[in-house]
Structure 1
Amino acid sequence: MPEMPEVQGLVDFLRERVTGLRVERATIANIAALKTYDPPIESLKGAEITGVARHGKFVDLATAGSAPAGSAPADSAPAGPAPADAASGPHLVFHLAKAGWLRWYDRLPQTIIRPGKTPIALRVALSDGSGFDLTEAGTKKSLAVYVVRGPAEVAGIARLGPDPLDPGFDRDVFAGLIAGRRTQIKGVLRDQSIIAGVGNAYSDEILHAAKMSPYALAASLTDEEVDRLHAAMTATLAEAVAEASGKPPAELKDAKRRGMQVHGRRGETCPVCGDTVRSVFFADNSLEYCATCQTGGKILADRRLSRLLK
């Protein structure tokens, strides 16, 4: 699943290439992917793209009017999501979900898209002949496309928590968000209404960097553990965003995999201590961790076989 660093990489890439171009056409190939009907998707035709922003894991292309308020220029470091703006044109917003991706073309293919016969969910043609497809692999289709008057009209954006790369997201803000939550810290990190942009992969990486069990209860963390976790979160995400910066979409997935210390590395050697990276499997995903670094050597039981060890 694309998470904040990869989505920010896409935003930076698109901002540099599409700002100032007009949308020639936007074609939906998978009607289930389009979650809105007013404004109609046809309203994008002829609209000038004025800016590109990130909200959590959502990508927001603003048209006409002004660029999204708070959007960083292409040559500046991203500092979290942009708030809703008052642009007069519609916004094209999308969320890539678990198996979606963006395929960029300097020259957009002229082949006809046949609904139901292609992984393409949306094709956008731009005025200079370039464009992009939103694609989705697998049979479970969750990629979502919205055409709205402002990003706050997207329910998933409206309920987002603060962005961990926002300059105001300091240790005290983080401590306030997790205080009193008697839920496992991995689930807290992944909850988009608490913290925006972190998913399964980077929550594994953050917890490994913080030397913390994924099953630790948020409410039980000591002040020192909160300090350590906040530092690990901001450093891990900032490094991943820096690694994604400047890379085209086709290279972002491989860059993400190369940067992972434990996520997706079951059976490999932990680069910190040399122990074996282990997994716990759930219904539709898994978590990875190092027992030596994170649980004092304790092996966490697999949900498929037995109850979780506390």
Structure 2
Amino acid sequence: DEYRVIEIPSGAGTEAIASILYDEGLIQNELAFRFYARRNELDRNFIAGQYRLSPVMNLAEIVGIIQSGEIYRETIWFTIPEGFKVEEIAAKLAEEELADEEKFLYLASNPSERILSTFPYLLEYDSSDVEYLLEGYLFPDTYEITVESDEEEIILLMLGRLDQVISLPDLAGALQEAEYSLHEILTLASIVEREGQVDHERDLIAGVFYNRLRIGQLLESCATVQYVLGETKEFLTTADTRTPSPYNTYINAGLPPGPIASPGEASIRAALFPEESDFFYFNSKYDGTGEHFFSRTLQEHNANVNKAEQNLD
């Protein structure tokens, strides 16, 4: 990378700037720079700050950047995986020293006026049983932020990315036609995200949940119980599935009060475009593929559970 970051001090004149540029190897001749700046009456228009410049730039490009005030800000990249919960996002940002964990969680639970005014749909759902208002709304992706970015700015960036995704023409159209609200779609998408491990099954998993919702059958999603327990257990006990919580879909009909994680685009698409089938059950194959067996009846499902258990031996 041939770029160099230089500092133009406040009040620096053309001679001082020419000297800085020459010392950094960005120009070959100080006199030529001073002559160019004065001839074009630019010598009083330089703006103090840090600039990212390259030796391959010509005088006009260098002068143009310093004049524009296009100040360089150091940036950092971070990635939030699909299926992360708010608490996992906060912990990861804190671990990478990009945010204060407590401040981030507070804002996720009590968004600022700026956040709510920018994304008013956050106020459109009943959040009485929701711990983190922003659960499921912080889109999982790779982000670039400046070193000065605070918790609020990171949250605004992640909400903005979700806004971009749900504004894609086909998704925006499907949301308008959907029988469920945006909040409910994100809730279902988050369950699909946590239940599905391979992309080609997401649409089918979403279809199973739609089939259950239509006839009033309990969703019985293990992922919702894991959210309640606060841990990912490979095998749930009967006692686990009876844990009292509005999020427990083994004991409460319909969707939980809100998302249980941040769904990626594939899971949001699955929730909006589920694959139609006559399946009402699915269970992990436990064969290392991340795939599931799908069943039409409880009898079929029990047979598939027995088949999967043989893969555990």
With structure 2 as the length reference, what TM-score do the two structures score? 0.26
With structure 1 as the length reference, what TM-score do the two structures score? 0.26
Q: Higher strand fraction: Structure 1 or Structure 2? A: 1
Which has the greater radius of gyration? 2
Q: Higher helix fraction: Structure 1 or Structure 2? A: 2
